[in-house]
Amino acid sequence: MKHLSEFSALDISELARADVARALAEDVGEGDLTAALVDAGRSAKARILARESAVISGVPWVEAAVLSCDPSARITWCVGEGQRCEANQVVVEFEGNAQALLTAERTALNFLQMMSAVATKTAVFVAAVDGTKAHIVDTRKTLPGLRMAQKVAVKVGGGVNHRIGLYDAVLIKENHIAAAGGVPAVLKRVAETAPQARFVEIEVETLEQLDEALASGARMVLLDNMDVPTLKEAVRRNAGRAILEVSGGVSLETVRALAETGVDRISIGALTKDVKAVDFSMRFDAF
């Protein structure tokens, strides 16, 4: 599978259609019993309203949900992907078959509320480190089956994607180091076993481990749960040799101070793990 940085608009659309197909199969099953109460030939107009301010993400997923149910539906976005909506603002309008719009409603809203939540939270963290060199980075702490959608939303919010999965990059942690026989041994081993990796990163918990990793040729180091003074010293010792990433216990209250130490990246699992859905609702015009 390609990394998201290599995805085209067509790739994103195909990803959205695949996600939506699974979601509709889960929701609709053998048929929408409630939508069947509406005459099959009736047309309708509907709109999605934002109940709070948010960065919009999930446009291809919403479109896939509606067009899967009614390929001839008309969709007009009032707030586009990556743009901010305000409370009570109309985000998108639909015209199409009434049954189809009713069937698509929950799936469309589920993707829009989840992805916009991720994009909005990411944008808040990105704004908090503005003016520093630090990038806000996601993790693999994602909702099962929705990783790619959530990582798209991180990018929409201004963040950077870490590895997509275990297959595209290497993150060496404490247990890997112990099992492989130490830092020099594990770094040598990864060059032999995973030459195709997009990057190789090694996690350290102390300044001594950082020194050992740098001496062994590490070019990307994860500084795990270090306080601000230790991070500043790590940046000084590194002297630009490796990309330095901070991880562990990052919050909106602490992220600025962490960024000001001079690190390159700050990874935050909460971007995708602790998702509070943005409040949207779909409203139909009177039939």
| Catalytic annotation, residues | 106, 141, 173, 203, 224
Is 155 among the annotated ligand-binding positions?
no
- Residue 182 marked as a ligand binder: no
- The residue assigned the tokens 């808040």 is 124
d(CA 117, CA 207): 36
- Is 31 marked as binding a ligand? no
- 136 and 122 Cβ atoms separated by less than 8 Å: yes
Residue 106 marked in a binding site: yes
Does the annotation place 260 within a ligand binding site?
A: no
42 is in an annotated binding site: no
Say if residue 181 carries a ligand binding annotation: no
Sign of CA dihedral 87, 89, 94, 99: positive
* 139 is annotated as contributing to ligand binding: yes
Backbone angles phi, psi at 3, to 5 degrees: -75, 155
Q: How far is the C-alpha of 205 from the C-alpha of 237, rounded, in Å?
A: 15
Altogether, the residues listed in the chain come to a count of 287
219 is in an annotated binding site: no
Q: Where are the beta strands (DSSP E) in 40-149?
A: 43-50, 54-55, 74-77, 84-85, 90-97, 135-137
> Is 130 annotated as a binding-site member?
no
Number of continuous H segments (helices) and E segments (strands) in the chain = 10, 12
Q: Which residues are annotated as a binding site?
A: 106, 139-141, 163, 173, 203, 224, 247-249, 268-270
Q: Which residues are annotated as a binding site for substrate?
A: 106, 139-141, 163, 173, 203, 224, 247-249, 268-270
